[in-house]
Structure 1
Amino acid sequence: MALKPLTLTSCYLLVSFSYPAFSAQDTSEYIEWLASYTGEAAANVDGGKREGSAYAGQLFLGAEIDLEKFAGWENTKVHVAFTNRHGQNLAATHIGSSTSVQEIYGGQNSRLARLTVEKSFFDDQLQVEVGRTVANISFLGSELCQYFQTNSACGNPTFVFKTSNFTWWPVSSWGGHAKYWLSPEIYFHTGVYEENTPHQDLSDHGFDWSTDESTGVVVPVTLGYQTTWENDAYPKRYEIGGWYDGADYTDPAKDENGNFAAVTGNDYATQNGRSGIFARFEQTILRPNLNSKRSVTIFGAVLAGTSGELIEDEYIKAGFVKRGTFTGRDEDTIGFVVTQQFYNKDAIEDQRILREAKGGLGRPESSQTMMELSYGIHINDNIRVQPNVHYIINPDQFSERDRLQSLDDVWVVGVRFDVNLAGLLLR
């Protein structure tokens, strides 16, 4: 997937090494310099644990180096990326759920997030990329995610991270992927990624390249159909696929004897091997003027587990993005997304047992629904501001499994802003 400087969603941020002997202008023929800052503020105004606010941000500097122009290596590029993530997670501090309303949060610290070599073969029919990377910048991502702030849907459906060791930006490990275009619109895409749980520690900076602590790999597979603004009046993408996670994980409810660990007091069992499937789509359905990108695009996804002991069984997502709002506001957007996570009955029973043991009553809810409505204000080609409102029904308690009672539904107000620093500084 091509990564573009104005796609400022957190999953697509790139950073670069600099070359002291050259200015950006000197290297522009073979290096595309990238830099941006994304900030996401959110405040819980009703429900949850307590009212309050939190801010999270990401600074990134990056580059794509064309080795064909630089050194004569045909159809070869290098991607290199660093990030600095900082701030706090409102879901943990004030809402009480395990799914953030600030998708920029996670992998705090300064990190080497990507260092890969990409090469194309057969007139760009096959693209292969390997190195230090993550799965979610190549699989289950979407350009539409830049119009939202919720982590339930963006940068990727949260289900895949809660039910597997699917690797996520900016916590890199060894990996690679290959995409083969069966036709100009149809592709087969697969990859292999080292499980990166040990690198998720806040003290990690991305320079420990050892595989000693890894317990397996994650293998995603996708078959897709995709068109673009350049070759289709109504751009679209349809995908089906799945993943296999061959790494270790902790059973969400049972001990090694198959009994509820919350009852026996034994350790939760270590398991190995999980898998899931998905289907998703994005379809532009309205475009009044084919000379403008004013349009309405609808999207949706369904994900489900197929093996392993999972916290969630199913996940659904649906929404729309309207590009162009009022007269003269062709670059502004309105976006709405709703997701629902359906939890596994054993995982919920584990929470009920823990709640009862502490004197609480009632059974936790079996699903969580999250919604976001956003308005994106295009200040100029380098600055975008997006106020947003969230509503959460049945905040889950996977981050506080022994909570004594269920929490009230939550209203959150937020604002996201994206600044293309490269566009401001290097124009």
Structure 2
Amino acid sequence: MRRLSRAGFAAALLAAIAPAPAMADDDDAKPGSAVASPAQDDDDDRDPSILDSVPALGPIKNARDALAAKGLTFSGFYFSDPRANLHGGMREGATYSGLLKVAIDADLETIAGVKDASVHVDMLQIHGRDLSEEYIGNVLSVNDIGARPTTRLFEAYYQQKLGNLTLKFGQLASDEEYFISDHAEQVFIGATFGWAAAPSLNLPQEGPAYPLAVLGAQAQYDVSDRLTVIGAIYNGYAARPKALDAEKANPHGLNFRLGDPPFMIAEARYRFEGLGGLPAKLKLGGYGHFGDFDDLKRGTDGLTLGAPGSNDDPRRHDGNLNLYAVLDQQLWRFSGDDPERGIGFFLRAVWGPKDRNTISAYVDGGLTAKGLLPGRPDDLAGVAVAWADFSPGLAAVDRAAADGAIRRYEAKIEATYKAQVLPGMTVAPTFQYVMRPGGGPPEDGGPRIPNATVFGVTTIVTF
């Protein structure tokens, strides 16, 4: 793949938003990740709000409802996350991190008579410290909201529905739409069960994902009740391409860059009756970046990077394409009126060229349950495993340097129980066990980082 010029980027943008021949969006409701928008297009699909559960908040609820009747919907949540590394990792210790998200959705049909059109804007207030970065040294982050503390604009876009076709233009984040397991997103706290370690580590500046959204355009086409196709094109960098820390270089989400080598992603979603006639969903997709990528093993002189005599100048590759798949399957449905109450299974995988992707293969999967305990119909629980295989080129570099442990793989187990205290408020104790943090060695070489044991209690209040 070659780098696109500004004219080429514009042409690709137009191609991305043109009506697809046949496919569409899939999720009836937004995902339940930490940064997903709690407000839905349909009031019946909106996440429970604490404003509806606590009588003392009635005046705020009434003001919210009055504005909603005029076409303005305010929503958001606060994510509170104290977490501790009890044993292993780089060192033992604890952190606190928090995230406040506030969103405004404007129904332009109600406000201005523009049929099936809306505007969405949300902002993030991020504070606290990241346990993975400071105490563990792993890539399968144990925290879903770890980021540089700041207040920033996240997504801001115009959406237009045209029959089965839905278009979006503006500042967008790919992790809000793509590579999502419905079962995993509802339960787990670790970031890798959302925007996984594979795209995060393989893409420049971790791709257009929390906490960095970028300018882009998206088209979604509903082929049928079962089949949907969705695709988008984004500016490939959230900050200047050579920035060492994109979050620091674009601290408030206001860079609005356009003209850098683009990032594109597409996904086909198919719903069907799976095992026992229970609902299942298969997603097949791929993403590509049109920038240049360093070879992870070979230098321009043909020698292994880090070996004696090497010029340590990596070869360059044009572009990077990764493919992925996601499977969700309900395995058992409990009796009752809620068809989502039961046990589910999910499996996700990503593959990419080994010569330019830090994580050349990635797999995660697990079991989830809703309403597992009697009398607790809205509680969620789950156990999941994630495995990230580091490129063998990196192992070759480690061997050539001969300065410590060799990067091979990192794995993580998570067990979480998300209890609904009242509609709009959940408390989730979570246990995680990280194997071979960082793939083995720390960034500056040396012996392997010990396996880590992590515990935390996450509270989410939705309003």
TM range (shorter): 0.7 to 0.9
> 1:334: which partner in 2?
381
Alpha-carbon separation, structure 2, partners of 1:301 and 1:401: 27
Counterpart selection for 1:291 from 337, 346, 358 = 337
- The answer on whether the counterparts of 1:45 and 1:413 sit within 8 Å (CA) in structure 2 is yes
> 2:289: which partner in 1?
245
- The answer on whether the counterparts of 2:212 and 2:247 sit within 8 Å (CA) in structure 1 is no
Alpha-carbon separation, structure 2, partners of 1:415 and 1:4: 29
Counterpart selection for 1:224 from 250, 269, 272 = 269
- The answer on whether the counterparts of 1:244 and 1:275 sit within 8 Å (CA) in structure 2 is yes
Aligned pair in 2 of structure 1 residues 3, 319: CA closer, same or farther (>3 Å)?
Answer: closer
Match of 2:349, as an amino acid? V
Aligned pair in 2 of structure 1 residues 416, 351: CA closer, same or farther (>3 Å)?
Answer: farther
Alpha-carbon separation, structure 2, partners of 1:380 and 1:28: 23
Match of 1:328, as an amino acid? G
| Aligned Cα root-mean-square deviation (Å) | 2.7
- The answer on whether the counterparts of 1:301 and 1:316 sit within 8 Å (CA) in structure 2 is yes
Alpha-carbon separation, structure 2, partners of 1:5 and 1:415: 25
Bigger mean CA offset, 242-251 vs 370-379: 242-251
> 1:281: which partner in 2?
327
Counterpart selection for 1:403 from 429, 445, 451 = 445
1:192 aligns with 2:237: no
Counterpart selection for 2:209 from 165, 168, 171 = 168
- The answer on whether the counterparts of 2:181 and 2:346 sit within 8 Å (CA) in structure 1 is no
- The answer on whether the counterparts of 1:322 and 1:333 sit within 8 Å (CA) in structure 2 is yes
Deviations 1:238-295 (A, max 9, x none): 1111111112344434434443332325344554300111111111121122513321
User: Is the partner of 1:92 in helix, strand or coil?
Assistant: helix
Alpha-carbon separation, structure 2, partners of 1:83 and 1:14: 13
User: Is the partner of 1:12 in helix, strand or coil?
Assistant: coil
Match of 1:337, as an amino acid? A
Once the 2 structures are TM-superposed, how far is the Cα of residue 371 of structure 1 from its aligned partner? 0.7
Once the 2 structures are TM-superposed, how far is the Cα of residue 410 of structure 1 from its aligned partner? 1.5
> 1:84: which partner in 2?
125
Once the 2 structures are TM-superposed, how far is the Cα of residue 40 of structure 1 from its aligned partner? 2.0
- The answer on whether the counterparts of 2:394 and 2:407 sit within 8 Å (CA) in structure 1 is no
Counterpart selection for 2:247 from 201, 220, 226 = 201
Match of 2:280, as an amino acid? K
User: Is the partner of 1:11 in helix, strand or coil?
Assistant: coil
Match of 2:281, as an amino acid? R
Give unpaired runs (5+ residues) of structure 2.
Answer: 1-24, 40-61, 241-245
Under a length normalisation based on structure 2, what TM-score does the superposition of the two structures give?
0.80
Among the aligned pairs, what percent are the same residue?
20
Structure number with higher helix proportion: 2
Once the 2 structures are TM-superposed, how far is the Cα of residue 84 of structure 1 from its aligned partner? 1.1
Match of 1:218, as an amino acid? F
Aligned pair in 2 of structure 1 residues 156, 349: CA closer, same or farther (>3 Å)?
Answer: same
Bigger mean CA offset, 189-198 vs 174-183: 189-198
Alpha-carbon separation, structure 2, partners of 1:248 and 1:86: 33
Counterpart selection for 1:150 from 185, 190, 193 = 190
Deviations 1:105-125 (A, max 9, x none): 125411110110111112xx1
> 1:11: which partner in 2?
35
Counterpart selection for 2:111 from 67, 70, 77 = 70
> 2:22: which partner in 1?
none
Counterpart selection for 1:414 from 449, 453, 456 = 456
1:388 aligns with 2:427: no
Aligned pair in 2 of structure 1 residues 253, 307: CA closer, same or farther (>3 Å)?
Answer: closer
Alpha-carbon separation, structure 2, partners of 1:136 and 1:39: 21
Alpha-carbon separation, structure 2, partners of 1:32 and 1:170: 23
Once the 2 structures are TM-superposed, how far is the Cα of residue 176 of structure 1 from its aligned partner? 1.7
1:315 aligns with 2:385: no
- The answer on whether the counterparts of 1:39 and 1:104 sit within 8 Å (CA) in structure 2 is no
Once the 2 structures are TM-superposed, how far is the Cα of residue 233 of structure 1 from its aligned partner? 8.4
Aligned pair in 2 of structure 1 residues 197, 364: CA closer, same or farther (>3 Å)?
Answer: farther
Match of 1:12, as an amino acid? A
Alpha-carbon separation, structure 1, partners of 2:304 and 2:458: 42
Under a length normalisation based on structure 1, what TM-score does the superposition of the two structures give?
0.86
- The answer on whether the counterparts of 2:100 and 2:125 sit within 8 Å (CA) in structure 1 is yes
Once the 2 structures are TM-superposed, how far is the Cα of residue 56 of structure 1 from its aligned partner? 1.7
Alpha-carbon separation, structure 2, partners of 1:173 and 1:61: 18
- The answer on whether the counterparts of 2:327 and 2:348 sit within 8 Å (CA) in structure 1 is yes
Match of 2:322, as an amino acid? G
Counterpart selection for 1:379 from 410, 421, 425 = 421
Deviations 1:11-40 (A, max 9, x none): 31479xxxxxx9534421212211211122
1:133 aligns with 2:141: no
User: Is the partner of 2:318 in helix, strand or coil?
Assistant: strand
Question: Which gives a bigger RCO, structure 1 or 2 (Cα 8 Å, sep 6+)?
Answer: 2
Once the 2 structures are TM-superposed, how far is the Cα of residue 393 of structure 1 from its aligned partner? 1.5
Bigger mean CA offset, 316-325 vs 240-249: 240-249
- The answer on whether the counterparts of 1:375 and 1:386 sit within 8 Å (CA) in structure 2 is yes
Alpha-carbon separation, structure 2, partners of 1:103 and 1:255: 36
Alpha-carbon separation, structure 2, partners of 1:193 and 1:398: 34
> 2:81: which partner in 1?
40
Deviations 1:321-345 (A, max 9, x none): 1101222111112111101111111
Alpha-carbon separation, structure 1, partners of 2:127 and 2:29: 21
